[in-house]
C-alpha cells in the first residue's frame, strides 16, 4: 500500500500517494514522478466540510454545536453509502468521480 501525504503550496493543499520510494524532502513539487495526486469525488464535499467544521468547533470548546455538526456529517455519509451501494454487494459503497 502506498504512503499517503498532504502537501500545501500557496495555501492550497492536496493529498498524494507515494508511488515510488521517496526520500525525506522529496515532495510532489520537487519529485512529481514519485507522487500521484489523489482525487476526492465531489460527493464527499458536504461530509468532509461538516467533519472539518465539527473538529474546529471541538477545538473551540463548542461541544453542542460540534455534536450536531458531527451528526450531520454522519447522516451525509450514510446517505452517500445508501445511494452508491447495491443489494448485490451489501452495503459496500460504489463511489466514483463525477
- Residue spans of the domains in the chain: they are 3-38, 43-89
pLDDT grade for 25, boundaries at 50, 70 and 90: confident
Instruction: Give the residue, 16 or 64, on which the prediction is more confident.
Output: 64
Residue with cell string 466514483: 96
How far apart CA 40 and CA 98 sit, in angstroms, is 10
Q: How far apart are CA 8 and CA 6, in angstroms?
A: 7
Residue 95's φ and ψ, nearest 5 degrees, are -110, 130
| The pLDDT of residue 84 | 85
Q: What is the rounded average pLDDT of the residues 32-36?
A: 92
Q: Can you give the pLDDT at residue 98?
A: 45
**pLDDT one-digit tens code per residue, 65-75:** 999 999 999 99
Of the candidates 60, 37, 39, 40, the one whose C-alpha atom is nearest the C-alpha of residue 49 is 40
Amino acid at each position: 500500500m502506498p504512503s499517503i501525504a498532504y502537501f500545501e503550496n500557496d495555501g492550497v493543499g492536496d493529498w498524494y500517494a507515494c508511488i515510488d520510494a521517496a526520500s525525506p524532502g522529496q515532495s510532489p513539487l520537487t519529485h512529481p514522478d514519485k507522487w500521484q495526486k489523489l482525487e476526492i469525488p465531489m460527493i464527499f464535499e458536504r461530509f468532509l466540510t461538516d467533519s472539518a467544521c465539527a473538529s474546529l468547533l471541538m477545538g473551540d470548546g463548542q461541544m453542542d454545536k460540534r455534536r450536531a455538526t458531527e451528526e450531520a456529517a454522519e447522516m451525509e455519509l450514510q446517505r452517500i453509502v445508501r445511494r452508491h451501494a447495491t443489494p448485490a454487494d451489501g452495503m459496500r459503497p460504489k463511489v466514483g468521480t463525477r
